[in-house]
Amino acid sequence: MRYSLIMAGGSGTRLWPMSTAVQPKQLIPFVNGRSLLQIAFERLEGLVDADKRFICAGNAHHNIIIEKLNGFEANQFLGEPCGRDTLNALAYSAAILNKIDPDAVMAVFTADHIIEPVDQFLNIVETGYEIAEENENALVTFGIKPEYAATGFGYLELGADYASGAKVVDNFKEKPEKAVAEKYLNAGSDKYLWNSGMFVWKVSTLLKCVEKYEPENYSLIMKIADSWGTDSFINTLEEIYPKLKKISIDFAVMEPASRDSDFTVAAVPMPLTWLDIGSWPAFAGICEKDNDQNSLSSDNNFLMDCNNTLVASDEKEHLVAGIGLDNMIVIHTEKATLVCPKERNQDIKKLYNEIKDKYGDQFI
């Protein structure tokens, strides 16, 4: 049976001050009144039945997620008491699905992507499901055709043809320096793709990998899964989960599996419009633009002699005005206002942490 899992546990600190602990980026209704999580959930319509779409997120967001998503039930929410990176989120979810259905095939998506056109996306994911269903030890990932020499994404180095247009992944490349990214771009999309962070695999196959490469995490996660459906589940989860070694799925599973003859990591190209809304410059890509290429996401704004500047506000009655702004980010909320050059957007996470150190939770 086919299942899907949307990972929605990110804190979204690079989208502060709109993204907060109470309402992280995936829950902000800033895409025509819809949240990124709503878009991700609805995007799977026609591919995976609504009752087979699971979400893994922080327990603190349990109620708001169930409230906001039509057709989503409480038993489809897989809560984390704390964040322990993507390996543990996915292994924990796979272990629970394995108890529900040992033959489950799980596709993994994240709650911060804008992908168009949706019909082509669904056809490509269908191909990924078919490859995973037909190949017992396949770990399928989806690669995005690079549009520029991105230094904020990892890359997939492709090798031999595999099945249904997929290629074997020879190596996972970490976020590169600019010169290296340009080399990857010039090599062409038949050699390098952006790593999208989306996957398909049999849950039993993923659990085999976790047992082989991260046996301590595997043992602890299986204890959690063994308690699922019992009165002791919540206590077991809260006791064990914080003890799990924090590590990403790429480092823990995908990289070693790509070098292991027992498994095949295969990439299905996804030549679509794909935006990872993980920063304010990325968010600007989905906003309306004026004649001076200013990106506007507020009801009231007035810019004079400004160029290539992002303005966003979540207060409908508040006017944001600017003079002579060039390549800037201006974000206004009830609690805080951010003004930042676009080229310094990667420092917002550092700023967030320093504000937290000084003011505690007051502004985050």
Residue 21's pLDDT is: 86
Contacts of 203 (CB under 8 A, 6+ apart): 3, 94, 95, 97, 98, 102, 104, 105, 106
Residue 70's pLDDT is: 86
> Residue 40: which H helix or E strand, with range?
helix 36-43
Q: List the beta strands (DSSP E) in 174-241.
A: 192-202
Would you give the DSSP letter of residue 73?
Answer: -
Residue 22's pLDDT is: 87
For residue 74, count CB atoms less than 10 angstroms from its CB and return exposed for 0-12, middle for 13-18, buried for 19 or more.
Answer: exposed
- Identify whether the C-beta of residue 53 lies closer than 8 Å to the C-beta of residue 6: yes
Q: How many CA atoms lie within 13 A of 316 on its CB side?
A: 2
Backbone φ/ψ region at 197: left (φ over 0), alpha (ψ -120 to 50), beta: left
Compute the distance between CA of residue 260 and CA of residue 359 in angstroms, rounded to an integer.
Answer: 48
Residue 32's pLDDT is: 83
Contacts of 5 (CB under 8 A, 6+ apart): 54, 55, 56, 78, 90, 93, 97, 106, 107, 108, 109
For residue 304, count CB atoms less than 10 angstroms from its CB and return exposed for 0-12, middle for 13-18, buried for 19 or more.
Answer: exposed
The tokens describing 331, both together, are 């974000």
CB atoms within 10 A of CB 73: 11
**Per-state percent for the chain, helix, strand, coil, to nearest 5:** 40, 25, 35
Domains and CATH numbers, the chain: 2-276 (3.90.550.10), 280-359 (no CATH)
Compute the distance between CA of residue 175 and CA of residue 278 in angstroms, rounded to an integer.
Answer: 15
Q: List the beta strands (DSSP E) in the chain.
A: 2-7, 53-58, 77-80, 105-110, 113-116, 138-144, 155-161, 167-173, 192-202, 264-270, 273-276, 288-289, 295-297, 301-304, 310-313, 320-323, 328-332, 337-341
pLDDT of the chain along its 364 residues, tens only?
999 999 998 778 999 999 998 889 999 988 888 999 999 999 999 999 999 999 999 999 999 999 989 889 999 999 999 999 999 999 999 999 999 999 999 999 999 899 999 999 999 999 999 999 999 999 999 999 999 998 888 999 999 999 999 999 999 988 899 999 999 999 999 999 999 999 999 999 999 999 999 999 999 999 999 999 999 999 999 999 999 999 999 999 999 999 999 999 999 999 999 998 989 999 999 999 999 999 999 889 999 999 999 999 999 899 999 999 999 999 999 999 999 999 999 899 999 999 999 999 999 9
CB atoms within 10 A of CB 263: 23
Residue 31's pLDDT is: 86
* Phi, psi at 221, each rounded to 5°: -65, -35
Beta bridge partners of 320: 301
Compute the distance between CA of residue 291 and CA of residue 289 in angstroms, rounded to an integer.
Answer: 7
* Phi, psi at 309, each rounded to 5°: -115, 140
Would you give the DSSP letter of residue 22?
Answer: S
Contacts of 37 (CB under 8 A, 6+ apart): 6, 8, 26, 27, 55, 65, 68, 69, 111
